[in-house]
Amino acid sequence: MPKDQGIGASTKRREDVRFLTGKGRYTDDINLRGQTHCVFVRSQVAHGRINAIDTSAAEAMPGVIKVFTSADFAGKGGVPCGWQIHDKQGNPMLEPKHPILAEGKARYVGDAIAAVIAETLEQARDAAEAVVIDIEELPAVVDMKAAVAGGALVHDEVGSNLCYDWGFIEDNKGAVDAAIKSAHHVTTLELVNNRLIPNAMEPRAAIGDYNSASDDYTLYTTSQNPHVIRLLMGAFVLGIPEHKLRVIAPDVGGGFGSKIFHYVEEAFVTHAAKVVGRPVKWTAQRSESFMTDAHGRDHVTKIELALDKDGHFLAIRTETYANMGAYLSTFASSVPTYLHGTLMAGNYKTPHIYVNVKAVFTNTVPVDAYRGAGRPEATFQLERVIDKAAREMGIDPIEIRRRNFVQPNEFPYQTPVAVAYDTGNYQATMDKLVQIADIAGFEGRRAESAKKGLLRGLGVNCYIEACGIAPSNLVGQLGARAGLYESATVRVNATGGIVVMTGSHSHGQGHETTFPQVVAEMIGIPEAQVEIVHGDTANVPMGMGTYGSRSLAVGGSAIVRATNKIIAKAKKIAAHLMEASEGDIELKDGKFSVAGTDKSVDWGSVCLAAYVPHNYPLAELEPGLEETAFYDPSNFTYPAGAYACEVEVDPGTGKVTICSFAAADDFGNVINPMIVEGQVHGGLAQGIGQAMLEAAAYDANGQLLSGSYMDYAMPRADDVPFYMVDHSCQTPCTHNPLGVKGCGEAGAIGSPPAVVNAVIDALQRGGHKHVTHIDMPVSPVRVWSAMQG
Amino acid sequence: MELKDSRIIAARPEDVWAAILSPEVLQACIPGCESITGTPEEGFEAVVVQKVGPVKARFTGVVTLSDMVAGESLTISGEGKGGPAGFAKGGAKVRLDPDGEGTNLSYEVQASVGGKLAQLGSRIIDGFARKLADEFFARLQSAVETPGAADATEAAESDADAAEGGEKKKGWFRRIIGA
């Protein structure tokens, strides 16, 4: 019988009550006394020299308080990049300044050049139209290969558009080249991982507030990691010490990575609030989100897979061009490198792997982590090339994968690309997939589709991801400029209620439900007795935030540690109250008892004693019941799984319809199965969106053509099937106390190759043998054109 | 975006030539043109109100004429700025060849748009530009073949537009030819 609370229960999401009844409190819902409004004047050209900015007409308009340009930020820093990559030769990446407002040149359509502060939003908008920018349009670079082949320079001062040329692992290259040269078979695939626009439901927003009495600042912002923003903005951009800067990220309506990063608008409103002496508010319009939220993916890759005559993988060699956009966003440099290269082994035993990545500046919106971040790019190329190899060698695509899996008895498994998988069972998830997707029944379904004149195809793939980001000592060696631990404070009140302050941030993940399940289980009290506080640097001691499927694995583990400290202290108090030895105290169902006796004291009494210490061992123990813990994982976690997609292709139009999608995931232990399924569903929808519909398009001049929902196709309910998801294959993580691996990104990582594999399968079975690859999105025109040859 | 077309006009090339260089004729022919001033030698300045899909704006721009071979060919280039709506720029190579008693007017237009126009209007911009080009040359043809007709057409359209709430369907093309 399913549990009705605690670990393993599908507790309904408590936060949904306020979200679904319109009572959420988002940044734009906050209005401060005396607040002013900000509108940015943004570049309309992708690349241009700013000759002059005339703000006089705008400043004379009604309600205008001040118009800012880069001159107002003299002496302030640029927005920093949080991860330094070293190239093949060991040289640091090129790291041009990313100013708050454009200095000298504008580098993408949407680059902020000036900003108007006015009494009302309408006045600010009107005045923004009156700011005259004399800008001389320069040739733009959009195509990555052209950008490194001598196109216009995005940043003149660094002398090149090649941010870095990274080899991973450079010492492996000789062995990889040799293995490919002598292999029985080599499959080569060139592909594009299409550029995506994140489209969180809530656009970004920020409010800066400065208190002249105390000389401190408050920033309200749509962030996945307020403490990181505090550190980056305070230390690197504005020079505000952390104790004088409070960052609040209240309810946040979706992030998908795009709200990890420190954006210029945050620094702008914080600084401007002090200059004008009043709070400054900015909320992005949807059009602004399209052209300023960091985009995702945008890789162009060539991958080669060498195999022996039995289909065993011998070596993988890749060359990828990764678009950085016009400036380095906060984690942009890490996505195509350590979040991508380290995953190229996939679920397989490939002895030799070499990954080359060329990161390129172009006159486009900065590109950074988007749900999956590097791992979808790795998975897509690997699982596509395996499919192509299977077809070329006449081996069943499931069989060729099974033949190369890391076997259950081979963990921990050291890959040739730095990471070591702690645990997993890829045969088991594949077995589960074969069952839930009814692979055996495919031929029958294909025959049914054929009767309707439709080509049916089956696509299967596996994925693995490195989540629970990350061990600080490891990422530090790799160039990360931050630690990636998490902290938690568990505060027990006198009447037994608990407040958990976590550095993780919930913007859709359901932490307010899941984390209490863990604490309630550990103590044996009702979940309703536990409350979660997050998203405020003044209330939470420290935090690294939520991304990389790390909240439960890292943040949850910190909560477990803090709760264990609470339990240890509570046992001391209970021992004193019952005049027993601390070692004999047992905690079960919210009751402390002395082993082997009928003596007990309940949770509430112990909590009361801690705060009303009339009968208390004051000589040995401090009053109060509050503990803080930090947790830094010793390894990544490695969720993995096997996915299957069936499609029907209409040969007359090229239209692809997804008939079914099955996902067998191994997330280790699961705290709330319903929330896990919801996360998988959301991830699948985003992956299917990438595979079927979404593409950010630029013209040759760097104009964003897909800048609205008229031209950027998001998946809708009728674009996705009912999913079959299963997470019963559980190999618990071996190194965190909960045995959990993370589930937030899996669906988006694992699903794109399944869709494309299915489309190619449908066309191949339908006699279109020449079609071996179609780039995403697999739109009707692309599929139809491919069929025509 | 590129488009290419030609049409036969029942007037001699020198008359067509004169019409193209006349600000008054241009204003009458450019859909949405509110004003146009200047000379062929110094260039023209024009103001055009135009609506592309969801984006409506008043474009101001400078048009220059170059490669002028009297009565035969010229290149018109220009850029119009529509404030927050974005910008458009482009050029047209126009050739006038005698065709019996009349003129074969052929043109090759290259145009690009930026800012909000590109962001929101890319899907419809090509068709829109083609329609404007057609309208411009149809009006030019009519103006040259029956002097006074272009003004009448313009007036009639203005009335019709006023009836629809004053929205004129006008002048992106104007920038191309030099507003």
What value does the mean pLDDT take over residues A340-354? Answer: 97
Exposure pattern of A203-224 as b/e (b: 16+ CB <10 Å)? bbbbbbbbeeeeebbbbbbbbb
pLDDT at B68 over 80: yes
Q: Which domain holds residue B87?
A: 2-177
Q: Determine the distance in angstroms separating the CA of B19 from the nearest CA of chain A, rounded to an integer.
A: 32
What value does the mean pLDDT take over residues A576-601? Answer: 96
- 3 state DSSP class of B119: helix
Answer for the pair A593, A600: CB distance below 8 angstroms, yes or no: yes
**Chain B residue whose CA is closest to A700:** B112
CA within 13 Å, CB half, B104: 7
pLDDT at B167 over 80: no
Please indicate whether, in this complex, the C-beta atoms of B83 and A129 are within 8 angstroms of each other.
yes
Predicted confidence band at B81 (pLDDT cuts at 50, 70, 90)?
confident
What value does the mean pLDDT take over residues A30-56? Answer: 97
pLDDT at B177 over 50: no
Question: Which residues in chain A are contacts of B53 at CB distance < 8 A?
Answer: 710
The rounded distance, in Å, linking the Cα atoms of A35 and A32 is 5
The secondary structure of A426-467, three-state, reads HHHHHHHHHHHCCHHHHHHHHHHHHHCCCEEEEEEEEEECCE
pLDDT at A409 over 70: yes
Neighbouring C-beta atoms of residue B131, cutoff 10 Å: 15
Whole-number pLDDT of residue B148? 54
Answer for the pair A86, A479: CB distance below 8 angstroms, yes or no: yes
Question: Which residues in chain A are contacts of B116 at CB distance < 8 A?
Answer: 44, 287, 707
Question: Which residues in chain A are contacts of B113 at CB distance < 8 A?
Answer: 703
- 3 state DSSP class of A514: helix
Whole-number pLDDT of residue B79? 85
Predicted confidence band at A456 (pLDDT cuts at 50, 70, 90)?
very high
Q: Determine the distance in angstroms separating the CA of B108 from the nearest CA of chain A, rounded to an integer.
A: 20
The rounded distance, in Å, linking the Cα atoms of A766 and A642 is 25
Predicted confidence band at B168 (pLDDT cuts at 50, 70, 90)?
very low
pLDDT mean across residues, chain A: 97
Taking one residue from A and the other from B, the number of pairs with CB-CB distance under 8 angstroms is: 50
What value does the mean pLDDT take over residues B35-43? Answer: 89
- Looking up tokens 């966003």, which residue turns up? A329
**Chain B residue whose CA is closest to A109:** B115
Please indicate whether, in this complex, the C-beta atoms of A703 and B123 are within 8 angstroms of each other.
no
- Looking up tokens 């001040």, which residue turns up? A66
The rounded distance, in Å, linking the Cα atoms of A353 and A340 is 13
Q: Is A699 on the interface with B (CB under 8 A)?
A: yes
Domain count, chain B: 1
pLDDT at B85 over 90: no
Whole-number pLDDT of residue A552? 95
A475's CB contacts (< 8 A; 6+ apart) are A338, A469, A484
The rounded distance, in Å, linking the Cα atoms of B71 and A36 is 59
- 3 state DSSP class of A195: coil
Q: Determine the distance in angstroms separating the CA of A43 from the nearest CA of chain B, rounded to an integer.
A: 8
Identity of the residue numbered A422: D
Please indicate whether, in this complex, the C-beta atoms of B86 and A705 are within 8 angstroms of each other.
no
Q: Could you tell me the domains of chain A?
A: 16-22+485-631 (3.30.365.10), 31-138+204-283 (3.90.1170.50), 299-470+635-788 (3.30.365.10)
**Chain B residue whose CA is closest to A699:** B118
CA dihedral for B18, B22, B25, B27, sign (positive or negative): positive
Predicted confidence band at A633 (pLDDT cuts at 50, 70, 90)?
very high
Q: Is A701 on the interface with B (CB under 8 A)?
A: yes
The secondary structure of A734-774, three-state, reads CCCCCCECCCCCHHHHHHHHHHHHHHHHHHHHCCCCCCCCC
> Which A residues in the span 116-145 are in contact with B, Cβ-Cβ below 8 Å?
128-129
% chain B with pLDDT above 90: 18
Whole-number pLDDT of residue A388? 98
Please indicate whether, in this complex, the C-beta atoms of B112 and A129 are within 8 angstroms of each other.
no
Question: Which residues in chain B are contacts of A44 at CB distance < 8 A?
Answer: 86-87, 114-116
Q: Determine the distance in angstroms separating the CA of A101 from the nearest CA of chain B, rounded to an integer.
A: 18
- 3 state DSSP class of A602: strand
Q: Each residue of A108-123: pLDDT tens digit?
A: 999 999 999 999 999 9
Please indicate whether, in this complex, the C-beta atoms of A128 and B87 are within 8 angstroms of each other.
no
Interface mutation vs chain B, best among A44, A113, A705, most B CBs within 10 Å: A44
Q: Each residue of B139-156: pLDDT tens digit?
A: 988 888 876 544 444 444
Q: Determine the distance in angstroms separating the CA of B119 from the nearest CA of chain A, rounded to an integer.
A: 4
Whole-number pLDDT of residue A404? 98
Interface mutation vs chain B, best among A111, A134, A703, A706, most B CBs within 10 Å: A703
Question: Which residues in chain A are contacts of B85 at CB distance < 8 A?
Answer: none
What value does the mean pLDDT take over residues A669-678? Answer: 97
pLDDT mean across residues, chain B: 79
pLDDT at A40 over 50: yes
Neighbouring C-beta atoms of residue A46, cutoff 10 Å: 33
CATH code of residue B148: 3.30.530.20
- Among candidates A44, A704, A711 on the partner chain, residue whose Cβ is nearest the Cβ of B123: A711
**Chain B residue whose CA is closest to A132:** B83
What value does the mean pLDDT take over residues A549-556? Answer: 94
- Among candidates B53, B118, B123 on the partner chain, residue whose Cβ is nearest the Cβ of A704: B118
Q: Each residue of A87-106: pLDDT tens digit?
A: 999 999 999 999 999 999 99
Q: Each residue of A726-781: pLDDT tens digit?
A: 999 999 999 999 999 999 999 999 999 999 999 999 999 999 999 999 999 999 99
Q: Determine the distance in angstroms separating the CA of A705 from the nearest CA of chain B, rounded to an integer.
A: 5
Question: Which residues in chain B are contacts of A291 at CB distance < 8 A?
Answer: 119
The rounded distance, in Å, linking the Cα atoms of B33 and B50 is 9
Lowest mean pLDDT among A75-84, A356-365, A545-554, B134-143: B134-143
Predicted confidence band at B175 (pLDDT cuts at 50, 70, 90)?
very low
Q: Is A109 on the interface with B (CB under 8 A)?
A: yes
Whole-number pLDDT of residue B169? 40
* CA–CA distances in Å: residue A150 to residues A141, A162, A295, B91: 10, 10, 24, 27
Q: Each residue of A458-491: pLDDT tens digit?
A: 999 999 999 998 899 989 989 998 899 999 999 9
Which of the two residues, B32 and A567, has the higher pLDDT score?
Answer: A567
Question: Phi then psi for A82, rounded to 5 degrees?
Answer: -90, 5
Whole-number pLDDT of residue A1? 60
The secondary structure of A526-581 as a DSSP string is -GGGEEEE-SBTTTSS----S-TT-IIIIIIHHHHHHHHHHHHHHHHHHHHHTT--
- Looking up tokens 């040759």, which residue turns up? A700
Whole-number pLDDT of residue B147? 61
Distance of CA A607 to the CA centre of its chain: 39
Q: Determine the distance in angstroms separating the CA of A258 from the nearest CA of chain B, rounded to an integer.
A: 20
Identity of the residue numbered A638: Y
Predicted confidence band at B86 (pLDDT cuts at 50, 70, 90)?
confident
What value does the mean pLDDT take over residues A494-502? Answer: 97
Question: Phi then psi for A257, rounded to 5 degrees?
Answer: 100, -35
Question: Which residues in chain B are contacts of A707 at CB distance < 8 A?
Answer: 116, 118-120, 122
**Chain B residue whose CA is closest to A705:** B119
Q: Each residue of A227-251: pLDDT tens digit?
A: 999 999 999 999 999 999 999 999 9
Answer for the pair B92, B177: CB distance below 8 angstroms, yes or no: yes
Question: Which residues in chain A are contacts of B86 at CB distance < 8 A?
Answer: 44
Q: Whole-model pTM? A: 0.92
- Among candidates B84, B114, B122 on the partner chain, residue whose Cβ is nearest the Cβ of A711: B122
